[in-house]
Amino acid sequence: MTPSNDLFELIQSLNKSEQRYVSIALMQNDGNNYSRLFSVIAAQENYDEKQIKQEFKKEAFVKHFAFTKNYLHNLILKLLRNYYSESNINVDLHNKIVDIEVLIEKGFYKQAYTRTKAAVALAKEHELPQVELELLSIVKRFFYRGLYDIDEKELERNEKKLLDKIVNLHVFENINVDVHLKYIHHGLYRKTKPSEDPVKKVERLKIKPQTLTALYHYLTAVTVFYGNNRKFNSEFWKAVKKCELLFVKNPVFAKHKPLFLINAYHTKALTQVLAGKMDEVYSTIETIENLSNVYKFKLTPAVRVKLIEVKISLKFEYYYETRQFDKGVAELPPILEDLRQFGKYIVKREITMIANHTAAMFYFIDRQYKKSIKILHEIINNENKIFARIRNQSKFLIFINHFELQNKEAFNYLIKLYPPETKSIEYQVIYFLRDEIMNEKSKKILKIKWVELKRRIDKHPDLLKLKTYFEADKWVESKIQNISYKEMLTKS
């Protein structure tokens, strides 16, 4: 049975500040062995349990190593709760509730009540009705004990309001999730069947957002829905403007919800792309990169990763739509360096795969085929099942790269190694290349064949899915017109 590497992955995900905090805490509170074990695992590039056991072969805990790993894993999580209590409000409030429960258990009711009121105020400020409700249940315990002068009817009214807020928030959150699941994929719009119009759905349900968070979900859903359906009407632009003003007018909300803030501007930039307002897109990208300076939110790993995701998806969407391929290629080294720097946080995220595929695509467009192939192989070697579609498209692009390099042997070897699915567009293109190009038919016959292939591709039901990753129809058209793929894209 393969040993679990959960502990290794957790330790490897820590940044330098987190590592230092955990390491010091372990040395101070939990003895030398756990501190040494933490240091040995942190130093490994790949998890090697045999090497660890050899290192600690004289220690008693090696005999129960699975238990030891689980204990250290939980201990690190406990330490991280304390570490993040200042920067993560959910962790902070959770810790405050634990403190309150301990004080109640010890009989220090006055201290517990004072802390409960302070925690309620904090939960209200951060729009966390679920936490408020949990704290209200603690207040009710004080009431039942007859300890303080608490208005029972006021408690009931507050409970009803909180329950209404929670239901309201979930309704608007689900509206937003429903739209995003249909329309957004790895940070870019994708074409699919329309979902119900969020404006009409809210009118049908006869509800209004009761919190800023609910309003954010509603406005985001409206912009994504209308943007994807190319309905750039008054409702659309009103929602785009309101979503931006939501944060401008409520800077405290923006500071506490940095991921919402980044998403709002991300959505704005995507809608500008769809509306063809390319002169405004780059300005929005620069605004996103400066958000942390304006709203003073903490750049936690999750926030940094989100900023990298947005930068990758938006910048390359912008360069691709404006056909500035040379600028896109010039941007690749720093963006790939960002991916390497934050790789431990995003290695399992789809955006890493998409970024690499985008890099490979820009190198392909720039005729740097060998660089493109190298990156594509890195994608293919990732065995995570959720990346299957990207891996398959990467295999397809490898074929196209080798065709451009006229690597006949490599091309035929790849057909055996990665046989394309029958009836797919990829299958039709790849076997066309093998049968018609590799056999060096006459140019006159080839042009006729290219045109036939173009007709089959244009009618194929999966063309839109393929175009998310590679515009095969335009590449084939470039061969018909005998121009480069870059020229073909620039002309279109």
Average pLDDT in the chain? 82
- The CA radius of gyration of the chain, in Å to the nearest whole number, is 28
Q: What is the pLDDT of residues 51-98, one digit of tens each?
A: 888 888 888 888 888 888 888 888 888 888 877 776 678 888 988 999
403 within a domain of the structure (yes/no): no
30 within a domain of the structure (yes/no): yes
The pLDDT confidence band at residue 39, using thresholds 50, 70 and 90, is: confident
Q: Is the dihedral of CA 412, 417, 420, 421 positive or negative?
A: positive
Q: How many domains does the chain have?
A: 1
What b/e string do you get for 328-341 counting C-beta neighbours within 10 Å, with b at 16 or more?
Answer: bbebbeebeebbee
66 within a domain of the structure (yes/no): yes
Angle 53-55-56 (CA atoms, 0-180°, nearest 5)?
65
- Residue 1 confidence (pLDDT): 46
12 within a domain of the structure (yes/no): yes
- Residue 364 confidence (pLDDT): 93
Instruction: Estimate to the nearest angstrom the gap between the alpha carbon of 428 and the chain centroid.
Output: 33
207 within a domain of the structure (yes/no): no
Domain that holds residue 79: 1-83
Return the minimum-mean-pLDDT range out of 5-14, 43-52, 300-309, 477-486: 300-309
